[in-house]
A and B are shown apart, each in its own frame.
Chain A
Amino acid sequence: MSDHFKERSTRDYHQKQLFSKEELEQRESLCTYEDPPFCNAACPLKLDVKAMLLAVSEGDFGKARSLLEYITPFPEILSYGCDAPCRSRCRRRELEESVNIPAVERAVMYHSDVPKAKGLLKFRKKQKIGVFGTELFTLAFAADMASKKYPVTFYTEAHDETDLLKRCSDLPEEVLKRQLPKLKQSELKICFDSDPASALAEAGGFDILCGASSLKTEETDPVTLCDSAQRIFPAGEKQYGAVLQALFDARRAAVSAERIIQHLDPRNSRPPEGETESDLFTNLNYIPIEEAVAENGIYSREECIREASRCIQCECAECFRGCSYLRAFKRCPRILTREIYNNTGIIMGDHMMNKALNSCALCGQCTVTCPNGYDMAEICRMARENMVETQKMSLAVHEFALLDMLFSNQEGFLAGKQPGYEKCRYVYFPGCQADAIAPDTVYRTYEDLMKRQEGGVALMLGCCSVIARWAGRKELYEEQIAFLKDQMHELGDPVIISGCPTCSKTLQEHFPEVIGLWDVLAEKGLPEGHAVLQKEVIIHDACGARNDEKTQNAVRDIVRQLGGDIKETEYSGNRTSCCGYGGLVSYVNREAADDMAQECLKTDSEASYVTYCMACRDRLRRQGADAVHYSELVYGTGADDMPDLSAKRRNRLKLKQTLLKEIWKEEIMEEKVPFTCEISDEVKQKMEDRMILESDLLQTIAAYRKDRRAVLNEADHTLTAMHRIGNVSFWVRFLEQDDHYTILSAYSHRMQVRVR
């Protein structure tokens, strides 16, 4: 066995960065899944509007209220006085009227109770805060600092709390009345009927001084709101209406105050403040129109819930919608990329993301569905390559598929010129899955091509090597491509007629001219004896033909000629989902691969599907779909229905032998097995699940017949023999009757066992 199949050592580590930090950030920046919704981004107070509306739509007014209480000490005043920049950026506005967020806020405050719990236990602070002057800014700042457990003294000309609120806001009295209990509850020490100006002038013993705009003597810093003596005053420049501006300034002032208390420069390490931009993509295509609820007085609870339910809960889930893989791993591409990047960097320890990076079908759908073209497939492929190179990727993950590829290019390989031609203009390359699943169709196709395609058509049965690329085995891939190049050269470097879109895509990178079988059939027309469809069909596009409209259209032409009435779906063409064969998922994570096949059928599981990749045909059929490969219809042939792994190999060998015998008239010396094996369907299924081939079983029995090394159970007369092939120990339990073996079970392990 070559070096490619030598097991690695977990004690031997190499390191290679997957990509630079800059490239990582550049790739990650394309994913806007975590960008804030537009309403949240617009709010200078950083209200989580989306969460608030969701809570209301679920009838949880208490939660909605707590979100409002979190951003300001006076949510009642805010809900009436806010100029609501969130509303102007609400995406529903592009369809009809935006969600009436302030009206919902008003109703939330009206219909919910004042929270009884005081929240988290906070330690009382020692630093004293002095606040001077009567306006909403000073009142909000004072209340904010008091809620943070600072001892705050507030100097005001007002006579009592009601008067104070009236002086701070010109909102209707009944609104202010509702805000009154909150003010009374606060731990503010209010000095009524005082003269704030003289109090500020004489102030002593305070760590922080904050005053109303009328007491400001010099221009303050536009960000920190501090003057040269680090006294805090409202901003000079106003961006919003009076209420929002005052509450926003109070929030910023509180940040500055805490920085100063901690002896830090108030300009440094401030959280993002004010309105921010968002690149979040929101798909408005599937949003039903819902008329706004008119606000007559205050919304009733029901009206409020109805209006809040109009929120479309902006999120970019374009990639998730079509990809069961991303949904299964519950991570947006940005997070997934970061975790995969970290996974490749782990020197010692568990690589927790191996399963994730090996479960991507590498189909490229996300690049099409993502508004920014995020290429998750390339990241997963690169990560596999990186981990193979640094010997962190276990051979066990992809070995079966790689050996299958080698089987196609060795034992199952065939290259021959059309009889009677010294040089062929073309070579037909059906692809390993067509050879394995529909050998009769491949045979008929080749016969037809020899007959109808001028210039001679050679044949090559083999694998295009994409399996090595999917497995991240770069060197093996290059070796296999070199092998194919040599073989093509021996045939006189003909034009390749590929039977599989993935083979086409792969071979196009290495050979000057590759066309599809569909191109030839679309040009030549259908042969005699083709099937007639006369029904509605969905074409399941192959991921290998993504962004290859020429191929997609050629297949559609053929299907129409067959009489098919093509129904296009949301995931037709370039947006197609992978059947689960791509990226070797079906070998690594069967559950994920089955989910992918189901995903392909989600539009209509009862529909008739036509595929143009044999792997798609096989995988969709295994999910119970009525799926057929277009070439089966073209040649009126069938395919082996859901062949197991052993049958796929057998089919390839049989096809090769039949072709050699019937087309090239070669005598085939069939190797006679000197014994017979009886394998029940139950055991066959077990072997399929455990990826044990019939050939592994036969070799184990043959080895036993040679040296009789096995365990005999005298109780039931069964024998259990072991034989190591490559990196795997195969065990077969059987009953022996002369040269006949009844197989009872088969199992395997990769660990080696010996006596010590």
Chain B
Amino acid sequence: MANEKTYYTLEADSHLKCAHCGIPLVKGNAVFEYLDNAFPVELPVCPQCGFVYVPEELAMGRVLSVEKVLEDK
């Protein structure tokens, strides 16, 4: 996994906290999966419970456009 290409990196905003665990989110390794395709990314993640935060701009931007491309495959 160490050498795997990361498709997208988003720094964890220092204001972001996991509401469940009460600790700040950190930049962590995550993966997007869709229709049997996987894209390693770095997103704000809760180091304790593993909750991955997908901000609105990312969901309605890059994620949506990649979904559309894959849907026509």
> Could you tell me which A residues sit within 8 Å of B by CB distance?
7-12, 349-352, 354-355, 394, 396-397, 690, 707-715, 719-722, 729, 731, 733, 745, 747-756
Contacts and interface: CB of A to CB of B under 8 A. Distances in A.
B35 A749 contact: no
Interface string B1-30: 100000000000101111110000100111
A394 B44 contact: no
Interface residues of B, number: 41
A749 B63 contact: yes
17 contacts: A7-B35, A10-B70, A354-B72, A711-B25, A711-B51, A712-B17, A713-B17, A720-B53, A721-B19, A722-B54, A731-B56, A750-B34, A750-B67, A752-B34, A753-B54, A754-B52, A755-B45
A38 B17 CA distance: 75
A712 B35 contact: no
Contacts of A710: 19-20
Interface in B23-73: 25, 28-37, 40, 43-45, 49-54, 56, 59-60, 63-64, 66-67, 69-73
Contact of A10 (B19, B30, B32, B35): B35
A755 B52 contact: yes
B24 to A, nearest CB: 9
Contact of B16 (A10, A713, A729): A713
Contacts, number: 116
Given A10-B36, A753-B32, A756-B30, A748 B51 contact: no
Nearest to B1: A756
Contacts of A729: 54
Contacts of A354: 71-72
Nearest to B51: A709
B18 A10 contact: no
Nearest to A355: B72
B67 A396 contact: yes
Which residue of B18, B31, B59 has the most chain A CB atoms within 10 A of its CB atom? Answer: B59
A8 B71 CA distance: 10
A351 B40 CA distance: 25
Contact of B13 (A396, A709, A713): A713
Contacts of B20: 707-710
A133 to B, nearest CB: 64
A750 B70 CA distance: 11
Contact of B30 (A350, A748, A753): A753
A188 B17 CA distance: 89
Given A745-B56, A747-B56, A754-B31, A351 B36 contact: no
Contacts of B51: 709, 711, 722
Contacts of B67: 396, 749-751
Contacts of B13: 713, 715
Given A713-B13, A755-B52, A749 B72 contact: no
